[in-house]
Amino acid sequence: MGKPTGFMDYKREVSGDIPPKERIKNFREFHEHLPMERQQLQGARCMECGVPFCQSGMTIGGMTSGCPLHNLVPEWNDLVYTGNWEQAYHRLVKTNSFPEFTSRVCPALCEAACTCGLNGEPVATKENEYAIIENAYEKGYAQPKPPTVRTGKTVAVVGSGPAGLAAADQLNKRGHSVTVFERSDRIGGLLMYGIPNMKLEKQIVERKIRVMEAEGVTFVTGADVGKEIKADKLLKDFDRVILACGASNPRDLSVPGRDAKGIYFAVDFLKANTKSLLDSDFKDGKSVNVRDKNVVIIGGGDTGNDCVGTSIRHGCKSVTQIEMMPKAPDKRAENNPWPQWPKVCKTDYGQEEAIALFGCDPRIYESTVKEFVKDKNGNLKAVKIVKLCWEKDEAGGRMAMKEVEGSEQSLPAEIVLIAAGFLGSQKYVTDAFKVAVNQRTNVDTAPGGYETSVKNVFTAGDMHRGQSLVVWAIREGREAARTVDESLMGYTNLMVQ
């Protein structure tokens, strides 16, 4: 433990943000990180608890508490404080394949479970993680380290999101020859096209891909397995196959006027935006044009917030975010005690920017869409919404959402972005491999397992567990890799936690 009284001697300090009206002028990351000396003091705040909930990754009250990767948080916080940055890096990557991603996009489950947060401010663990990995790249600690011995075994990974990349990284380190197939034109999956640039700049993804390539992983883009590339060919050419294609079916809305022109799924909107940015800096005109238009976003989660921030950067006239659920409390409720994940209202970067630009929070709570209104040419011109309330179902005794009579209102809208989540794996992939799926259309396995109903075919990530966090996808990829390694070699020395 670096300093026993550090949590009392030093206040929590995190990176500052470029002001909203300034940062919306571009698609760059906007956090201004602390200098090394001040970051080390944040490491001193870690108490090295006897029971470190930060690294537990337990399910409490139906929610994850602590890091699903079981990161060795107290260890590398202490190493940050003492200035042993190289050792901190080695302890960090022992459990986390991609700290350069999680330190940017993870909601910091570790901090929510930090003991310091029980009666004060949690340790700035996510910022410490960022400092460790970026320092490692700067100093050369994160340079490629190819395996010295190859096993002669081959593995195909279908999908290059965080789960697929984590599995590929682990199996390659073990000495297996790994080929990753990606149907898009760039490697990264969700990391490349699902998360906008201001949260995760794409050169960060490409930097890690170059390291993995130098370590021996083969990447194939434009490879749509199940269509252009047949499942039988992969099963013939490779000893094992891992399906990590994500939860790729966006949830739709079945309301009158759904066929109006101007309605897009959020994932398509975000992908088109990032691809146009990377291909031509928007000069090709292939992103969805929202300039000077009223934008309505259906969905109050992270993806909806990303759509808010992206629409603002493109110069929308207005932006509104529709959320079915009631507004969460500003502080923890009594029935939501630490170390449970705090179910409190979060105002994210996109909402902050909307408030700064338009003067109000873009979110409308406890509402749903009744109709999309079209003009005579079939173009969207408005969205009719209605308020919702919770009532007990007399038949079943369960709480259900009911429409509030007389609460309808019309919102002007030329663009609607549907960010209502995802429903599971894509049928053409699961059909191609003939793997069993469950009622949620996720690939079915034994509880806690990763082997599918088809011999030598495994699965991981959102395709397996359903839509979730990047950190959970990494854990799934690492665990699947361990299972595959054991099936190939009869034992495994790959570490999961």
Could you list the pLDDT tens digit for every one of the 497 residues in the chain?
568 888 889 999 999 999 999 999 999 999 999 999 999 999 999 988 888 999 999 999 899 999 999 999 999 999 999 999 999 999 999 999 999 999 999 999 999 999 999 889 999 999 999 999 999 999 999 999 999 999 999 999 999 999 999 999 999 999 999 999 999 999 999 999 999 999 999 999 999 999 999 999 999 999 999 999 999 999 999 999 999 999 989 999 999 999 999 999 999 999 999 999 999 999 999 999 999 999 999 999 999 999 999 999 999 999 999 999 999 999 999 999 999 999 999 999 999 999 999 999 999 999 999 999 999 999 999 999 999 998 887 776 788 889 999 999 999 999 999 999 998 899 999 999 999 999 999 999 999 999 999 999 999 999 999 999 999 999 999 999 999 999 999 999 997 65
- Residue 458, in any domain of the structure: yes
Same domain for 223 and 166, yes or no, is yes
Q: Which of 418, 444, 467 is the last residue of a domain?
A: 418
Same domain for 444 and 414, yes or no, is no
- Residue 149, in any domain of the structure: no
- Residue 144, in any domain of the structure: no
Same domain for 440 and 376, yes or no, is no
Q: Domain total for the chain?
A: 3
Same domain for 158 and 120, yes or no, is no
Q: How far apart are CA 380 and CA 382, in angstroms?
A: 6
User: How far from 165 is each of 188, 279, 355, 478, CA to CA, in Å?
Assistant: 8, 23, 37, 9
Place of tokens 């238009």: 293
Same domain for 272 and 413, yes or no, is yes
- Residue 255, in any domain of the structure: no
Say if CB 322 and CB 336 are below 8 A apart.
no
Same domain for 92 and 174, yes or no, is no
**Domain around 84:** 6-139
For 359-454, where are the alpha helices, taking DSSP H only?
Answer: 427-433
- Residue 473, in any domain of the structure: yes
What does R_g of the chain's alpha carbons equal in angstroms? 23
Secondary element (H or E) of residue 387: strand 380-392
Same domain for 279 and 414, yes or no, is yes
The domain that contains 236 carries what CATH number?
A: 3.50.50.60
* b/e code 23-58 from CB counts within 10 Å (16+ = b): bbeebebbbeebeeeebbbbbbbbbeeeebbbbbbe
Q: How far apart are CA 315 and CA 288, in angstroms?
A: 12
Q: Judge if pTM exceeds 0.85.
A: yes
- Residue 459, in any domain of the structure: yes
Same domain for 428 and 392, yes or no, is no
DSSP symbols for 240-275 = EEEE------BPP---TTTT-BTEEEHHHHHHHHHH
